[in-house]
Amino acid sequence: MAITTTSNLGPVILQSLAPAMLYTPTPMFIYNIPTDKVTMPRQGGTTMRFLRPRALTPPTVQLGNSGIEPPSQVPQRDIIDAQMAFFGTSCIINEQVILQDQDPVLAWVSDRLAVAMRQAEDIILRDYIMSAAAVVNCDGGSNGDNPTEISVSDVSLVSQILDSENAMKFMSGIEGDLKFGTAPVRSAYFMLANTAIESDLDALIGSGFKSVWDYPSNSSALPAEYGSILNFRILVSSQAASLANASMNGRTVYYNTVLGKQAVTHIDQDGYSMQLIYRDPYFSGALAQNATLAVKFAQSQAITQDSAIGLLASTNRS
Amino acid sequence: MEYSKLASGQLTVSATGIQQAVTLPFIPDFIEISNSTRAAAASGVTKAWWMTDMGQGASFVTTTGAGPADGTSFISASTGGGFSTFTANSPALGASIQISGITKASAAVVTTGSNHGLATGDVVILTGLFQSSTTGMPQISNMPFVITRTGATTFTIPWNTNQSNYTALSGSPTGAFVRKVLYPYLYFPGVNYISSISTGAVSTTITTTSNHNLVVGSQVDFFIPSQWGSVELTYPATGQPQSISAYVTAVNSAVSVTLALNSSAITAFNSNPTVAQALAGLTPPQMITIGDNNSGAVTNAYLPTTIGAATVGGAFQTNTRQGFIVGASVIGTASDVVYWRAYAHDMNT
């Protein structure tokens, strides 16, 4: 008896499209998390200006009974300016793609454009901080390079520097809990680090580094959070600041950004913070063949508390 | 609706045989130049053109008169020196070039083992500066230096190595490399590394290792670790925790500013830390830009030219850019007038 199989009566159409698209590997966007947010008003010029009052001298010497008044102080302020810049990108999609492709092209291209825009926002902040913040080279490690790999003594030094400069911490403390092997995480500064130093941080477990898995509760932990050392909660990203071949011995240098409140301010533009633009093929010429999808945004950034930020430069242990 | 991009213009060659960049709002896939000066002189490259399919660094070249023989020749991408495109958007270092020696001098002379292709004004980072495991110049590694080209294999850096704790490099030490900072000053003004401090009761002059990009009215403060002296600029002797800030009152050059700062009582700046200090871990001395007190567009001849709108002098600015580079083999002679056009076509098959 002949058996009919797919070899002699195969499916007319061999493939079916899976119901959902796969995710696109995307770095964590960590640089915008600890920034202050300010909006540039419309018709507000090209530049955002920040003012910071300087401290006045505390009057700690008594007046006495002479009736003579001490000299008055002159209040002063520091001024910080940041110029707006405009960014954007686009895709041109022939209508035949929209017409004939099985997948929702306009939907996922829009999604990717939006992610690209947010990624640009993060990269711009990262590169600006790399150019403008003071650098402290790790020297507590043992790899013989300058900078060395990160150590608890290096983190302790930058913690001391920030504390001595009266930087403010982020009040995001995770309360302690009566569970074995856990301890509370205090209000803290942030450290923005590259995933490439995770193994160096793991080597410090038991010496001062607490993994996010050992937090009393992970409900307040951020998705990008890897752990904490001393006064720092550490967020990691694969696109965090680094420069290849830049150390004394030619290793990659990782610029771990340490910062407190208001250290960096991100400025967006009123009415322009993110625009996703779709133009129907109707607008593309006589034969109306091409649709366009685009994103554009305006952004500026400024270090608004220079005493509350630094780059703790490190290399890998090996 | 057409999506192609067309741009044209002219440039004046800054230096003979040194590549030059043209900034555009797009990346071109076709570039053409015409050198009117070479044509009038009947000598050299009169025309060159490039298409993206030829590869970065390639070019068709038309020459005339003395030097290369009359005719049209082709520079391959592997040979280089033709046209290339660039996107200056993130910090990056160029290829490693072996250092064969560095002198003890003020300014130090760096000699490379091959043609370095650098131009005056380029910024470099030096690494692996060991003559032996305990001698050499590792103190100045990992700092950006703006160079002055003195020859195809030599340039100087603005640092005085003619001091007791530096040993001259020679014999192409293993691991001693120079790398070009491909896109310096992407965001400015930024942090600057200090090469010298001249103190005074009324004013203080700071010299930096690369362009400071400051203007009159810029406000700066300092982070100077103890190995470099002058710690009072970071931690004032009065015991106040905050570092000293000062305003720029004069821009003396691309690498020198004068500040309204009484520094007569501070410890002298020390550009001569020991190799042992470098091996133990050495953070460079830094001048940090923290603001400005300007209300208008204060500028000077040393600032980068950006594509952004006018802003207040001293404001933090973005200097990312893209365009094309006219390579060393086709750029021509200093002061030549070169007309260019660049396209990004709708279609390439």
Task: Summarize pLDDT for B127-146 with one digit per residue, the tens.
Answer: 999 999 899 999 999 899 99
* pLDDT value for B2: 63
Name which of A156, A160, A154 is nearest A317 in CA terms: A154
pLDDT over threshold 50, residue A181: no
**Residue-level pLDDT at A139:** 94
Contact B175 A249 (CB under 8 A): yes
> Count of CB atoms within 10 A of residue A209's CB?
22
SS (H, E, C) chain A: CCCCCCCCCCCCCCCCCCCCCCCCCCCCCCCCCCCEEEEECCCCCCEEEEEEECCCCCCCCCCCCCCCCCCCCCCCEEEEEEECEEEEEEEEEEHHHHHHCCCCHHHHHHHHHHHHHHHHHHHHHHHHHHHHCCEEECCCCCCCCCCCCCCHHHHHHHHHHHHHCCCCCECCCECCCCCCCCCCECCEEEEEEEHHHHHHHHCCECCCEEEHHHCCCCCCCCCCEEEEECCEEEEEECCCCEECCCCCCCCCEEEEEEECCCCEEEEEECCCCCEEEEECHHHCCCCCCEEEEEEEEEEEEEECCHHHEEEEEECCCC
Average pLDDT over every residue of A108-116 = 96
Average pLDDT estimate for A169-177: 63
Q: Give pTM, 2 decimals.
A: 0.92
Question: What number of residues does chain B have?
Answer: 349
pLDDT at residue A183 is higher than 60: no
Interchain proximity A134–B291, CB inside 8 Å: no
User: A132–B316: do the CB atoms touch at under 8 Å?
Assistant: yes
Looking at CA atoms only, how far is residue B76 from chain A in angstroms? 28
Confidence of residue A291 (pLDDT cuts 50, 70, 90): very high
pLDDT one-digit tens code per residue, B5-18: 999 999 999 988 88
Chain A CB contacts of B284 under 8 Å are 135, 137
Q: Which of B166, B126, B83 is nearest to B340 (CA)?
A: B83
pLDDT of residue B71: 67
Question: What ipTM describes this predicted complex?
Answer: 0.90
Q: Tell me: the pLDDT tens digits for B289-308? A: 999 999 988 889 899 988 88
In the predicted structure, residue B348 carries a pLDDT above the cut 90:
no
pLDDT tens-digit profile of A199-243? 999 999 999 999 999 988 877 789 999 999 999 999 999 999 999
Q: CB–CB of B318 and A85 under 8 A?
A: yes
Q: Nearest CA to CA, how far is B118 from chain A (Å)?
A: 18
* Distance in angstroms (rounded) separating the CA atoms of residues A246 and A240: 16
Interface of B with A in 110-129 (CB under 8 A): 125, 127-129
Chain B: give the shortest CA distance to residue A159, in Å: 14
Provide the percentage of residues in chain A whose pLDDT is more than 70.
95
Q: Looking at the partner chain, which of B191, B242, B315 has a beta carbon nearest the beta carbon of A132?
A: B191
- Supply the pLDDT for residue A220: 79
**pLDDT of amino acid A186:** 66
Task: Say if residue A191's pLDDT is above 80.
Answer: yes
Q: What is the 3-state secondary structure (H, E, C) of B45-94?
A: EEEEEEEHHHCCCCEEEEEEEECCCCEEEEECCCCCCCEEEEEECCCCEC
Contacts with B, A 108-147, CB within 8 Å: 123-124, 127-128, 130-140, 144, 146-147
Burial class (CB in 10 A: 0-12, 13-18, 19+), B82: buried
